[in-house]
Structure 1
């Protein structure tokens, strides 16, 4: 398309509120990021050798009805189409599945700081471009270095995605009025569920009937590059910097958004107050709990369906996608109802965050445990996992956007702090489950699911005690002042006195400079 054509296209787009353009592009951003994040959970089942099960132990293993010959499942290095299979045990697979989160954790806080300094647009865009290119290069890395090559390229992918969440939280703080935040949070961060739906399902289709696993990485990485091109042209960091936004929308956002980044230059991040903030720390714990359960589902549920319930690869892709369809739909239901209740003043923002944190943590924990006791009943297990993920949809009306409530000015840094620490769960859970389930028995998986239950419920209780939905004093000292008993020095940068001091001689009334 020519430059004139792009200008005509953008002029037409201008009649659409630009915050909704950002929301839709954000949805596709999160969808792309999660397809690239979770696709290994499917492909690894076709990249590794499998040991044939010689005995079905009633109550501990499920019967395999797929009629795969033993020659296809012997524990030796095989080829899948023209590709080599690798002899990686469960612990190694767990280590590889966790590799993404090593890089993801490392770049969260730097990503939030970069977003606050340079804007969310390029922090998100360039981060996902790095992940997209690394995804395309994954087959090359595996062929070159095996498990080490795969681990390395997945760490790089994680480093690219690390800044995405804090940068989007900052973008929402700049673009979404408080009464619309739950809805926009669900729209953008709900894109993760689109990725979790499309990733396993499309992967299953690409891998079915002997499909080459490299195609999965080429498809999802290529889509990420295409998204980056549109993002670069259509989206901007703030309403005031957007060249195509209408005057009406710009004025509306200026009047309804309190983030100081729209009105004045921010002071340095108040780390000494931020690190002493109880509402921020319990938000971290709530995010750890949610991510512990969520990452267990997105990383290991395909393995549970494939290795325990014995679904074939195409069925595994479909069954793995169904829970996220439920989560995506319910995220909008919960978000709309939460915003409605806040507008009607039926409950405060803080109470709404606590209600939906409970909905997205303790309720799913119960369904996960029930699923672990469903044994080999495939229908019951899948239904319970779907119910569990449906209630996790409340996460986007609570923990995911709470950083914008307590610190709209420093939302990028706070979100990076919260999500960066919480993402450590993504490092721990795949490896821990690999250790807890070496034989892939129902009993071993039940222990893993009880661990998830304990973390989800425990962190939820702590958040309900100390969580908050109010802007914290350290986010705007000019507005709130210092709390009584604050003994840790000023948070704001002191403005140096640049005026020359005038010295009057004792017997002379003419002023003299001290220079």
Structure 2
């Protein structure tokens, strides 16, 4: 029972504590993505612009879109010098690709240890301390890049990735302990839709800031917001309802009766991760493959869309900031709609939970792949191209109520570790795709970008097929082997349990005494 100050504080909250957590989790994702994404637009102003090649030269592109801001080569060169272009960095497309992908080196590395730490110590501090380190690194980016150039920026972005790597496993674990299964689709869509708020803010505000000032201000703004979020999260949010000091008794009782991870809390805390079953799980690997495909498409859009709009469609920085934010606005709105559709269809019996995951994952793979191809064939019709990019990201949002939340279906008790595996391995796409696009688009022509988009469609289609045929939407036996038992074809020995580990430990202690 709540007493004293805890009871008084609990009455200050109009919303139940799980919804306070949802709002702060949404802001966590939003902050993480603004800090991750702001470089994608800022780099277009950090590097020297290339003067368009003359007609008849080897690099001349007959299909290049007209640049409304350029008249002649001489005028352009004068403008570049006058605007301080000579002080910017002379980085090739492949170097920019390496820098844009550097974040994911660190991001991949800390997923698994971050998930395991969250399961052991709770998600609150693993999430918040990771994002705190990213916020600090974001804030000092201007100083680092001016001091050490491309190498310093590469290293700093790797460190930022190390900080953000544990964020998704920790947050998924928190959701698994706060949200009942009947609310997961819409809560998942809402929370992870925070990525689109981050992308919108990162694109739109960055464009405005750089239109009226230097690119340095982008990093000061989003790093500062990350620091402010850290303070609020530490004061308001906790790893689970049972560790929350001023949650109401009624809400705590409701969650303990309706959240599987809380019902099995004692087991989840004490049993080791069933690694030898987990790494042999076909549905889990199908989910990982689907994640690789999704991330390939997503990072192609998030990381390289600003460069496509600047280099190919010839938008100025203010227009690029506004137009690159539009697809993410559409994605956020559509994610909520798809989440409601998924929960409604499951509740009405129109399709099973497993089929819902596959249907919406397919929509999130095939829809965007087709749309970006159509955008590339829109040529210099900038309005039509933007429409197709907006449609692509709207379709992609179906992923939040499809494969994104599927990890909680397979393993609610080991959500941190399984999320770490899925997100960590699939995020390799964030390393490979920007660099490959840099290699495929050395002079950033429309024809070169079209090839990159075809590669993206092929990856999305192939990985989605794997998930459709091999994915599942039910709890895996190894997630609660005491309740479900071993399958008949299991031939790899017993999984580790607390009781078995204690027996082994006692035997070892006895041998040491002897």
| Shorter-normalised TM range | over 0.9
CA contact (8 A) 2:286 2:466 kept: yes
- Tell me if 1:168 matches 2:167: no
Question: Equivalent of 1:467, from 471, 474, 486?
Answer: 471
CA deviation after TM superposition for structure 1 residue 243, in Å: 1.1
Query: Offset of 1:344 from its aligned partner?
Result: 2.1
Post-superposition Cα deviations, 1:453-493, rounded to whole Å, max 9, x if no partner, equal 00001111110001001000000001110011212111133
User: Which position in structure 1 is the counterpart of 2:488?
Assistant: 484
Match of 2:20 in 1: 21
1:30-74 CA-to-partner distances (Å, cap 9, x unmatched) read 111111111111111111112210347676211101237746855
How far, CA to CA, are the matches of 2:426 and 2:392 in structure 1?
Answer: 20
Question: Retained in 2: the 8 A contact 1:407–1:414?
Answer: yes
**1:317 aligns with one of 321, 338, 349:** 321
For residues 14 and 254 of structure 1, the distance between their equivalents in structure 2, rounded to whole angstroms, comes to 20
Q: Are the counterparts in 2 of residues 78 and 85 from structure 1 also a CA contact under 8 Å?
A: no
**CA distance in structure 2 between the partners assigned to 1:10 and 1:428 by the alignment:** 49
Alignment partners' CA distance in 1, 2:301 and 2:402: 19
Provide the residue aligned with 1:326 in structure 2.
330
Q: Which runs of 5+ in 2 are unaligned?
A: 508-513
1:250 aligns with 2:252: yes
* More displaced 10-residue stretch of structure 1: 218-227 or 346-355: 346-355
Q: Deviations over 1:375-430 (max 9, x none)?
A: 00000000000001001110110111111000000011001000001100000111
In 1, Cα distance between equivalents of 2:15 and 2:86: 47
C-alpha separation between the residues in 2 aligned to 1:90 and 1:75?
23
Question: Which secondary structure does the structure 2 equivalent of 1:476 belong to?
Answer: helix
CA contact (8 A) 1:111 1:416 kept: yes
Aligned residue for 1:512?
A: none
**Residue 496 and residue 168 in structure 1: after superposition, are their counterparts in 2 closer, same or farther (change >3 A)?**
closer
Larger radius of gyration: 1
Structure 1 residues without counterparts, runs of 5 or longer: 1-5, 502-514
Q: Tell whether 2:409 aligns with 1:405.
A: yes
User: How far does the alpha carbon of each residue in 1:54-100 deviate from its partner, in whole angstroms, 9 at most, with x for none?
Assistant: 34767621110123774685599968669930100101011110011
Give runs of aligned pairs for residues 174-253 of structure 1, distance below 5 A: 174-209=177-212, 211-253=213-255
Tell whether the 8 Å contact from 2:6 to 2:246 is kept in structure 1 after alignment.
no
Following the alignment from structure 2 to structure 1, what is the Cα–Cα distance between the partners of residues 80 and 149? 13
Deviations 1:98-139 (CA, angstroms, capped at 9, x unpaired): 011111011111111111011011111001000000000111
Match of residue 418, structure 2, among 414, 428, 443: 414
Taking the aligned partners of 1:362 and 1:272, their CA distance within structure 2 comes to: 33
Q: Determine the structure 1 residue equivalent to 2:93.
A: 90
What is the number of residues matched between the two proteins?
A: 496
Greater per-residue helix proportion: 2
Q: 1:69 to 1:37 in 2, by over 3 A?
A: farther
Report the Cα offset of residue 346 of structure 1.
Answer: 2.1
Deviation at 1:9, TM superposition (A): 9.0
Cα gap change, 1:13/1:166 in structure 2, threshold over 3 Å: closer, same or farther? farther
Residue aligning to 2:510: none
Output the TM-score relative to the length of structure 1: 0.92
The aligned residue for residue 336 of structure 1 is 340
Equivalents in 2 of 1:73, 1:196: separation in Å? 31
